[in-house]
Amino acid sequence: MDKEIDTIKNMKENGAFKKYIEYIVFPYYKNLVPGTKINLEFPITILVGKNGSGKSSTLHALYGAPYWKSCADFWFSTEVDPIEETGGEGKNRFFYGYREDKQSEIKEVMKTRMRRGSKTKEEDPDYWETSKPIKKDGMTAQTRNDPVKKEVVYLDFRAEVSAFDKIFHFAKGDISGKKDLLRKRSKYLNRLFNGEAMRFPGAPDEKVGVVKELNDEMKKKISSILGKEYVSIKVAEHSLFKNPGTSIYVKTKLSSRYSEANAGSGEVAVIQLVKKIEEAQEYSLILLDEPEVSIHPGAQEKLK
């Protein structure tokens, strides 16, 4: 592990990570202590703390930092949980500093929660936008800068539920009705995994689902994390079970083929994690929320 850490550290020092967020500061944001600053000196940062300490809130802010992204995708006002901004600190806001590359100066960007509403734009009480620098918040920028332009991959392991689990464990209805739906529609999923035409009534195949077989490099990483030797891993994104969902179809060296119906929830989550990270664009910001959920301690260690 020390060798890998040194390699990543040297990559950072040599400017291998472009569009890099160096730090993020929270003058007034949710329940975080005003003025909280997180320095992201190392490209891999782990947030630790007790429940309710603000780990997910911090990830939501980082998710909303880049261009065209907003933490309002996760945090928005309702009558039950209103966002009140009547205190002396003013509006909820955070700012961060990033470099385009090793040679560039740090650009600071302030993002503030606004209420958007006009004749030309749809009203949005949870609209976040860049604002001018605020010196009293500790900003050094003199002008308003554009947000960093980079893709974000956000994985909340509590929400990584397979298509089978969505219908069988979380959908309304009795067990017999759910089993009947799964039996009737599994034939279409089987065709999808086998590369055959699904012929699902009322919709073209490309609208119903797509499947991808993971390459050897992905299989190797998943095998290492989960302690199984995978021969084949297929991942399907589909709406065969009414709601959009993900199904897997795998074969290990010691077993016949099986789907997510007979796989552990941690197995599905790790496969999704590796797939999405490997498919991410270069210099993407990757955020993992509760990655240890449903994964046994040995796999948690290898996941690092």
Average pLDDT over residues 267-273: 90
pLDDT at residue number 250? 96
Q: Would you say residue 121 lies in a domain?
A: yes
Does position 285 have pLDDT exceeding 60, yes or no? yes
Mark whether 146 and 7 lie in a shared domain.
yes
Q: Would you say residue 299 lies in a domain?
A: no
DSSP 81-112: S-----STT-S-EEEEEEESSTTSPPEEEEEE
Mark whether 112 and 226 lie in a shared domain.
no
Mark whether 144 and 173 lie in a shared domain.
no
Does position 173 have pLDDT exceeding 90, yes or no? no
Query: Which of 150, 175, 204 is a domain's end point?
Result: 150
Q: Hey, how many other C-beta atoms are within 10 angstroms of the C-beta on 210?
A: 12
- Residue 160's pLDDT band (boundaries 50, 70, 90)? confident
Percent of all residues in the chain with a pLDDT value above 70, rounded to a whole number: 91
Segments forming the whole domain that contains residue 51: 2-150
Q: Which residue has the higher pLDDT, 299 or 158?
A: 158
Mark whether 271 and 224 lie in a shared domain.
yes
> Residue 41 contacts by C-beta under 8 Å, 6 or more apart in sequence?
12, 22
Mark whether 10 and 132 lie in a shared domain.
yes
pLDDT at residue number 82? 84
Q: Would you say residue 287 lies in a domain?
A: no
Residue 279 CA to residue 217 CA, distance in Å, equals: 12
Bridge partner list, 235: 212, 248
Does position 25 have pLDDT exceeding 90, yes or no? yes
Mark whether 136 and 18 lie in a shared domain.
yes
pLDDT at residue number 302? 63
Neighbour-count burial for 211-250, b at 16+ CB within 10 Å, e otherwise: beebeeebbebbbebbebebeebbbbebebbeeebbbbbb
Mark whether 118 and 220 lie in a shared domain.
no
Number of domains in the chain: 2
pLDDT at residue number 242? 85
Q: Would you say residue 70 lies in a domain?
A: yes
Q: Would you say residue 303 lies in a domain?
A: no
Bridge partner list, 94: 111
Mark whether 129 and 182 lie in a shared domain.
no
Say whether pTM exceeds 0.75: yes
pLDDT at residue number 161? 82
Q: Would you say residue 15 lies in a domain?
A: yes
Mark whether 216 and 183 lie in a shared domain.
yes
Q: Which two tokens stand for residue 269?
A: 């989550």
Does position 232 have pLDDT exceeding 90, yes or no? yes
Q: Would you say residue 263 lies in a domain?
A: yes
Does position 118 have pLDDT exceeding 60, yes or no? no
Mark whether 8 and 61 lie in a shared domain.
yes
Q: Would you say residue 7 lies in a domain?
A: yes
Percent of all residues in the chain with a pLDDT value above 90, rounded to a whole number: 67
